Structure 1
Amino acid sequence: MDDRTVEFIFNETGAGYTAERLIMKTRIAPAATYQALADEATALIAAGKTSDDQEWTDLATKIAEFRPDVLLASGPYTYSLEDIGDSYMTLHWQPNSIYSGSVQFGEIRLWQGETESTTPLVLNGDIAWATNVYPPATQQAFVDAGIRLVNVPLGYGAALLMQHDTYPFNIKEVRQAMAYAIDRDENAFFTNGFGATGTEYMAGVLDTMVSTLLDADSIAKLNHYDFDVDRAAELMETAGFTRDADGKWVDAEGKRISVEYKAPAEFADFPRRQHQRCRTANEFGFDITLRAIPWQQTAEDIRQGNFQLSVWSWAGGNPLASRQFFGPIQRFNYVGLSDGQKGMNFPMEFEYNGEMINLDALINDVSSGFDRDAQAQRAGRVALILNDLMPFIPLNIISAAQPFNESILTGAPADGDPLYAAPLDDAWMLKLLLEGVVRPAGS
């Protein structure tokens, strides 16, 4: 080993591909800036401290609050605090990266904003490439303006989240009935036109990854919950509900299922799909009221458990099953949140098929080791549990038509290039930007 080489040694039953992926995705940090913090972490490990100990909590807080005066960048661009504004930040070329000689831009401006705020910036040329999910009408406006659209998978989709302290979402049959009662293909179209597809396998991992991540026996047992209001009605009746004179489901005491559905107001693709979802659920017999609130508040309310129904993403662009299972069953549940936050509050330790299980531990263990067959069997077990209990409803999988303005930039491959198959977590633009393939138009 030398000063520029790091060796990682894995045992057969350890983190395996999970750690390997983490190593590849972890950014290099300069010792000149972070060595003291790293030394503190090393000392805690040597002392046998765990994440449950106050010392780790204190160090995590210290790291989160640390603000270096100067950024020592390993990439070809850097910035200072003066380069950060309310709407955008500016990156400046620096000479000390292995990519400094290949990139073709001296300065890059990164804009922050949702679809409504970035749309005019794309149309007027201030933004040359964007990753927002634009609705069909906006996509057509880009095409009419001569802006190329590059279609890429995002690696996630929208999921209906239920707060499990809210009656009757603590009843499995009611959750299953909702899955049957929502036309996911129609909902996908309302989400993003032909840029979204209704979820097929309902397995907690992306449909495109099911055959890779799960074993064949588990795949064959998955319930697809195809749109079927008759089957949904049977499940509601099994759970003890009947319809009143207005066609609304009521329990044995005559109480309707009247709940509020919180949804982010700023996401341009959300209003249509939320109205469609509420409409179809209400036509089936629920009594759901839609409430649009700021997206930051939506996320915070979900974390705090301050909702009855809501929506956020599920799965993720990670190729490992454990990380796809993470959202939202761990991400927005008490096991993955700060102390005092309960999120969905779906119990993760329970009896299932005569056995006490810890679903949180099962998910964390799914991608351990290097035996792919064993991983597929573990992932299949988790998928079947989620598919049966339906703690959230994975509604669709979204792809994005990314505007790429060829009057400003050049170098994007032709449509159908394998690079475009990578989800947003491994964005094609980053590779081509670093290699100097994407460059100013006319150069």
Structure 2
Amino acid sequence: MTTTPRTPLLRDLDRRRLLKAVGFGAVGVAGANVLAACAGGDNAADADAGRFTGVYDFDIDAQTRNVAVEDGALLMNSVYADLFLPSGAFYNWETHEWDYLLVENAAWEGDDLIVSLRPGLKWSDGTGLDADDLLQNFAIRVLEAPSWSIGFPQITELEKVDGLGVRARFDNPFPGIELQVVKHRIFSKSTYGDFGERAVAMVADGIRQGDEGHTEFNSEFIAFNPDEIVCSGPYRFDPAQIADARITLVRNEEGYQGTEVGFDEVVIHKGDNRQASLLIQQGEIDYSTLATSAADQQAFEGVEGLRSVEHPGYDGCGLMFNYQRKPELKDVRVRKALAHLLDGDQIGRVARGEAYSGVEYYAGLVDLQAEQVFTAQELAEFETYDLDHDRAAELLEEAGWTKQDGTWRLPDGTEAGFEVIGVVGWGDFELTATQVEEAWNDFGIRTTASNVPADNPWGIWSAGDFEVAVRHWGNPEIPSYWGAFQMNFLVENARTGETPGQAFDLVVDSPSQGEVDLEALVEVAKTAPTEEEQTEALKTMAIVFNELLPRIPIWTYKYLAPALEGVRVAGFDDDHPAAQNQIYMDNHVMLSLIQGDLRPVE
């Protein structure tokens, strides 16, 4: 196996020095300088009237206008896409209900899902938004959606039922199968009509992804790059105000909610994470979802009117093990001991500043979801893995490890040791790896932290080119609970010769559940015909995760999005009904803006 080159991490940073290194206790000179430059006066305030501002690292030349292929399309991977090309609906991650946008209703009739658009919708080019758009969109997605995804690949037939509605027939539908269909971001038939008509005919003929005839369609579709983005939302692109440094979206009165939104313009400044932080300190940005460092968070405290809108995280950062490279990790007592050596709160604070939460339940689900699935009494039975050196030593000794001259040795007498990898440029991963190195070394387990290149860590993880990797747990993209266990158990765990990944055996012996096939349970949690069966499978997997700890959750993401009040925006709602939504998938601030609840300063 070829080993990917590692970049060594600094070895001499203790926790106190790490806290200083990430900026606690000092605000940079650059921040002070840009703050001094933000006295705009009355004229600046007048120019900003009726304008909402954001920031995103776009590239008007390199990125396409093919919004049907979101990756690589202008602004389509930003939260601001909802403003010019809204989804059919927003999903409420807490109540599991819909806030319908372009879609008026979605209802089941047996195995058929009937999706109906709102009447009177128009595209920014003046054409009507109707069932033909919906039918063509659905047909294209049936062909183009990844075969492993849930929703479009399971559609067997499509039919237009009237001028605004489409019937999608499923083979053996199950609760939640409709999520991506209802949420689908609709693109215009005036732009994609030829592709749409061909896709409708192909789907009717039974052609699916990978079949003969699809390859040519796919290559043409991916390469397609129209001249403009035709919009359906309350805003549209102003061609005269698209530049390298900023893009201005103007009110689209014919679009959905075009007369109801509070702002006449939305300006998106270009900026990466660091540039965005400087723009925020200058008071130029009303709301940003880009990552900020601990030092940035502290510098923001000096900006009048700036606060944080908190968005919960549905994944976290932890440790993924390679059981093939380090077979001693197959002993659950060793994994639990290693967890007891980590101070999750300390590691999270160094890695993320205030933008993290601790881990309480170790259920494989984030605590917020665990509390939705289990009762408080059930969660009280879960084992916790807080910092406890005595318990760690007890577990290692039970596993046959011994400590000689301050160093732990395996049962065969060899010195124990691990390499922990982070990712170059992923600051929270780098800092997490460094602290794991320090904690395990301090306890007498020789540990080296290093970083792998950022261009393809997923390939490194899948190839099993690691011993211990800083890696995500949980799932921020799939609101259905099974997504967390797909991530924890199946992603980077192919167990093949070329892609062994974790090499974690998915048929396990649980102290309370007996022999369990985790791969089969993920499928049950995903596709069982009743919510009761899905929930039973979820509970079993969470209990098994807690008992066996196949990977170690260390901290949970918490997103603190900088938000400026009193300059252009009157205020941000602290008690929005969708405040528990995932920040990048169903952003409740964007929903509030679309619904007209986010208002300008008067």
Give the TM-score normalised by the residue count of structure 2.
Answer: 0.62
Structure 2 residue 463 is the aligned partner of structure 1 residue 325: no
Query: Which deviates more from structure 2 when the two are superposed, residues 202-211 or residues 227-236?
Result: 227-236
1:25-424 paired onto structure 2 within 5 Å: 25-34=183-192, 63-78=221-236, 91=249, 93-103=251-261, 104-109=263-268, 111-114=270-273, 116-146=274-304, 147-168=306-327, 170-173=329-332, 174-214=334-374, 219=379, 221-267=381-427, 269-293=428-452, 295-317=454-476, 318-334=478-494, 341-348=499-506, 350-352=507-509, 358-368=517-527, 371-424=530-583
CA distance in 2, matches of 1:151, 1:160: 25
CA distance in 1, matches of 2:560, 2:466: 32
CA-to-partner distance for each residue in 1:336-381, whole Å, 9 max, x for gaps? x9x9655434344x35459875433421331435743332211011
What number of residue pairs does the alignment pair up? Answer: 435
Say if 1:219 and 1:54 are closer, same or farther in 2 by CA, change over 3 A.
farther
CA distance in 2, matches of 1:8, 1:215: 36
TM-aligned CA deviation for residue 49 of structure 1:
6.8
Say if 1:68 and 1:394 are closer, same or farther in 2 by CA, change over 3 A.
farther
- 8 A Cα contact 2:418 2:468, kept in partner: no
Say if 1:437 and 1:205 are closer, same or farther in 2 by CA, change over 3 A.
same
- 8 A Cα contact 2:571 2:599, kept in partner: no
CA distance in 2, matches of 1:293, 1:117: 25
Aligned partner of 2:326: which letter?
Y
CA distance in 1, matches of 2:523, 2:423: 29
Gaps spanning 5+ residues in structure 2: where?
1-160
Aligned partner of 1:423: which letter?
Q
Match of 1:403, SS state, is strand
Aligned partner of 2:180: which letter?
L
Say if 1:221 and 1:34 are closer, same or farther in 2 by CA, change over 3 A.
farther
- 8 A Cα contact 2:433 2:450, kept in partner: no
TM-aligned CA deviation for residue 252 of structure 1:
0.9
TM-aligned CA deviation for residue 99 of structure 1:
2.5
Give the TM-score normalised by the residue count of structure 1.
Answer: 0.81
TM-aligned CA deviation for residue 436 of structure 1:
3.3
Match of 1:211, SS state, is helix
Aligned partner of 1:278: which letter?
E
CA distance in 2, matches of 1:216, 1:371: 23
TM-aligned CA deviation for residue 207 of structure 1:
0.6
- 8 A Cα contact 1:215 1:376, kept in partner: no
CA distance in 1, matches of 2:168, 2:415: 59
CA distance in 1, matches of 2:429, 2:473: 15
TM-aligned CA deviation for residue 283 of structure 1:
1.8
- 8 A Cα contact 2:347 2:432, kept in partner: yes
TM-aligned CA deviation for residue 170 of structure 1:
4.6
Gaps spanning 5+ residues in structure 1: where?
none
Q: Which has the higher helix share?
A: 1
CA distance in 1, matches of 2:320, 2:205: 41
- 8 A Cα contact 1:274 1:290, kept in partner: yes
Match of 1:395, SS state, is strand
Bigger Rg over Cα = 2
Give percent identity, aligned residues only: 24
Aligned partner of 2:184: which letter?
T
- 8 A Cα contact 1:161 1:309, kept in partner: yes
CA distance in 2, matches of 1:182, 1:262: 16
CA distance in 2, matches of 1:296, 1:362: 33
TM-aligned CA deviation for residue 87 of structure 1:
7.4
Which protein has greater RCO, CA pairs closer than 8 Å, 6+ apart?
Answer: 1
CA distance in 2, matches of 1:83, 1:295: 34
- 8 A Cα contact 1:132 1:400, kept in partner: no
TM-aligned CA deviation for residue 178 of structure 1:
1.7
CA-to-partner distance for each residue in 1:248-297, whole Å, 9 max, x for gaps? 34451414313242234343x45544332221122223222222455444
TM-aligned CA deviation for residue 57 of structure 1:
7.3
